[in-house]
Amino acid sequence: MNHALSTSRYTIEEVLIQIDSTNTANIRNNAISKAQLTAYKRMIMAIIHPDDYNKIFPIDSVILSSLVSGVELKDELILKDRYKANFTINFNAIKVQKYFEKYKITYSLTESKPISLIPIIYSNANQLDIEIMWNDAWDKYNAKKNIFNLNIIKRLSLNNPLLSMEEFLSLDLSDEPIIKNMNNNIFIWANYSIDRDDLSNINIIIKNIFNQKIFTIIKNYKSLSNESDLELINRSVKNLNQELFNTWVKFTSSLDSTMPYKFRFTDTKLKNWHLIEEILLDIESIKKVSIDFYKIGNLKGTIYFSGDLDRLNLILLEHDIVMTYLGDYSDISLVKN
């Protein structure tokens, strides 16, 4: 289990700054200012919904400095006409969250475990070349890991790589040993074709399974003037990757209102409850956890959470906690390994 997920996104490493100048006076402070702005942009791009980006960028330098809790200088090189440095910028998580809330920013509250993404493309012609370009594009746009971690599973890695669309979209994941996270998975079925106007088309069905809840998205991409197949595929995959990230942000973001959710813990091992409580209190969108009743094997309480029950369940599963809804309350426990 990773208990540091809620703070790791506020630490931005490998911020490389170069300033070409013969004036070295105050050059380190200038570099720090540039590093803070670069790190801030990287930090918000990885966790906020892109529709909210212009609400908080650009940012006033004084406000930005107030969000930074620490600056670490890893490497530094000062020459007559050049300054180079490698920084780690630490942001104050609480201040950043309050800043987001002030401007009503939609942002993800949790880092995902690797989500299995199975993107399959079929073409009546040039199947091998189209599939290679498709797989390469997914590898390219998932090279950088952030809060939304995709584990790309290629068609040939499946037990049956010759699935029809109906078989693929109804695939039983328990029959696929390569898939580790059974709670959150994404299926993408793409059909490449050329229409009567000699334009390339990619028709796509996306089946998202988050916390065992299913919803479907349909997309279509048509080649632009003088756009090659490679350019079309790269553009569509880049767009799809962003679309999936946006969906994850919406599903794991906080709401303005805080709702109470009753729970029961029936394990006789109190140390397991202490572990659960520690994780709960480290989740940003959980404002409070109260204990209403306790005796051995029967602990009852309330979680005050900014969001609905489905969202709470999704976030808890990413922290290896399962809640089973039973009506007036939910049983809470650690996920059994």
So where are the chain's domains?
5-102, 115-251, 259-334
Contact 20, 9 (CB under 8 A): no
Same CATH fold assignment for domains 115-251 and 259-334: no
Tell me the CA distances in angstroms from 173 to 152, 185, 324, one per residue in order: 15, 9, 21
Q: What is the pLDDT of residue 121?
A: 97
| For residue 58, cis peptide bond before it (omega within 30 degrees of 0) | yes
What's the pLDDT at 32?
97
**Whole-number Å distance between alpha carbons of 15 and 42:** 9
pLDDT in tens, 241-293: 999 998 888 888 866 678 899 999 999 999 999 999 999 998 888 989 999 99
Q: What pLDDT sits at residue 146? A: 62
Q: In terms of DSSP bridges, do strands 68-78 and 82-91 run parallel, antiparallel, or are they unpaired?
A: antiparallel
Length of the chain: 337
Half-sphere exposure for 225 (CA within 13 Å, toward CB): 0
Give residue 310's pLDDT. 87
Residue with tokens 């490449």: 192
Q: Which CATH number fits domain 259-334: 2.30.30, 3.30.70, 1.10.3470, 3.90.1200?
A: 3.30.70
CATH number belonging to domain 115-251: 3.40.50.10070
**What is the residue-averaged pLDDT of the chain?**
89
90 class by beta-carbon count within 10 Å (0-12 exposed, 13-18 middle, 19+ buried):
middle
pLDDT tens digits, 47-86: 899 999 999 999 999 999 999 999 999 999 999 899 999 9
pLDDT of res. 148: 76
Which residues of the chain fall below pLDDT 70? 1-7, 144-147, 181-182, 254-256, 337
Q: What's the pLDDT score for residue 3?
A: 30
Residue 2: predicted pLDDT: 33
